[in-house]
Amino acid sequence: MPKLALVAIGGNSLIRAGQRGTVAEQRDNAATTAKYIAQLIRNDYFVVLTHGNGPQVGAQLLRSELASSQVHPEPLDVCVADTQGSIGYVLEHALQRALDEASMRVPVVTVLTQVVVGGDDPGFLHPTKPVGPFYSEEEARRRERELGWKMVEDADRGYRRVVASPEPLEIVEIDAIRRLVLNGYIVIAAGGGGIPVVRRDGYVEGVEAVIDKDLVSALLARELNVDTFIISTDAEKVFLNYRKPNQQALDRITVSEAELYFTDGHFPPGNMGPKISSAIRFIRGGGKEAVITSPECLLDAVRGRTGTHIVPDERVFS
C-alpha cells in the first residue's frame, strides 16, 4: 500500500547558488527536482508538495517598490499569493512531464493556501524571515537608508531583507487539500509558508508577513497524518559543528537528541534551525518520522540509506 509523504522543497530546488533566478532557470531546476519526486511516486510513495518562495517573493516586492510611481504597490500577502501561483504553475508543469515520462498518470493540482496567524504575534515586532536576493554590505546599508528595509547577514552568503514571520496556527484550505489527496491528486500546497491572514470579525484578512515554510509544512504534515515528513535542502545530511574540523554527520537521532542539539546552538536560525524545529514539531505532534536530505537523495533517504532521520524516542532501535 502506498505511503503518504509530504516533501518540503527548499529554495535551491528552483534557484541555485550563483543563478539570477530567471524563469528559464527555475523551469530547468524544477524539472530536475520533479524527476526525484517522480522516483518517490514510482516507489509506492504518494506525495504532497510544499515549497519555499524567499527569492521570488523578495523579487516581487522589489518590482512592486521600484514601479510604485507607475503602478500601485502590492502588499506582502498579495506578493506571497502571486508567487504561490507562479511557482505552483512551474512545478505542476515539471511534475506532470516527469510523471508522463515515467508512464504514470497522476493528476497534479496547486491549491492557493491561506494560513492563519495571530494578530498579536511578537514576530510582527521583531522581523526575522529572510526574503529576496543576497546583497553586499554596502548595498544592504543603502537599502536600509533609502527603502527602510531591515537587513541581516544570512548564512555567510551576504545580506538579505528580513520581514515579520509569525507562527502558523491554522491552514484555511485543509479540508480541500485532504479531499484532493484522498481522491488521488498530487497536491502542491502552502507554498512559501502560505498566504498570511488573521481572523477578524469572523473573516480572514491578509497581513504583511512571510510565514516559515518548514513550520507550515510540519503543520500540514500533522494535519494530513503523513507517514514521512521530508525536508529537502542543499545538504545530504545534517551536521553537528558544521564546517568545523570536528563536524559530524547525523544519521538517525531521537527527537530528544534533536532538541538537545538545537538548544546547544548547532543549527543557525537562518539556515538549518527552522528545519530541525519543524521536524521536532512534527514528531512531538504524533508524527512517525522526519527526514532531512537533498533532492537527489530523496529515494535513498526514505529507504534509510542516507539523510538525517528524526524519530520518536521509543523508535530509535526499531
Q: φ, ψ for residue 43 (rounded to 5)?
A: -100, 40
Q: Which of 149-158, 196-205, 239-248 has the largest mean confidence?
A: 196-205
Q: What CATH number should be reported for the domain holding residue 115?
A: 3.40.1160.10
Question: What are the residue numbers of the active site?
Answer: 11-12, 129, 213, 275
- Strand boundaries in the chain, DSSP class E: 3-9, 45-51, 108-111, 114-116, 129-135, 150-153, 159-163, 170-171, 186-189, 195-200, 203-206, 228-232, 238-240, 248-250, 252-254, 290-293, 308-311
Q: pLDDT tens-digit profile of 217-275?
A: 999 999 999 999 999 988 899 999 888 889 999 999 999 999 999 999 999 876 788 89
Looking at 30-34, 131-135, 137-141, 207-211, which range is the least confident one?
A: 131-135
Alpha-carbon gap, residue 278 to 255, rounded angstroms:
11
> What local confidence, expressed as pLDDT, does residue 1 receive?
66
3-class state of residue 206 by DSSP:
strand
> What local confidence, expressed as pLDDT, does residue 107 receive?
96
Residue 114 belongs to what domain range?
3-315
> What local confidence, expressed as pLDDT, does residue 20 receive?
78
Please count the structural domains in the chain.
Answer: 1
> What local confidence, expressed as pLDDT, does residue 11 receive?
67
Q: What is the pTM of this model?
A: 0.89
Residue 71 Rama label (left phi>0; alpha psi -120 to 50; beta): beta
Task: Give me the residue label for grid cell 511516486.
Answer: 41
> What local confidence, expressed as pLDDT, does residue 202 receive?
87
36: pLDDT strictly greater than 70: yes
**Residue type at position 139:** E
> What local confidence, expressed as pLDDT, does residue 318 receive?
47
Q: pLDDT tens-digit profile of 39-50?
A: 999 999 999 999
